[in-house]
Amino acid sequence: MRGSFEYSYQLLISYFAEVRLVDPDLVFNAQTTSCKDKRFTRYFWCFGPSKKNYKLLRPVIVIDKKKLKGRYRGTLLTAIAIDPSKHIFPLAFLVKDSVTIKSWAYFL
Comparing 79 with 102, which gets the higher pLDDT?
Answer: 79
Q: Which of the residue ranges 27-36, 79-88, 91-100 would you say has the lowest mean pLDDT?
A: 27-36
* Residue 43 Cα distances to 12, 53, 86, 97, angstroms: 9, 22, 28, 9
User: What pTM, to 2 d.p., does this model score?
Assistant: 0.79
Comparing 41 with 49, which gets the higher pLDDT?
Answer: 49
Q: How many helices (H) and strands (E) does the chain have?
A: 3, 5
For residue 22, pLDDT beyond 90: yes
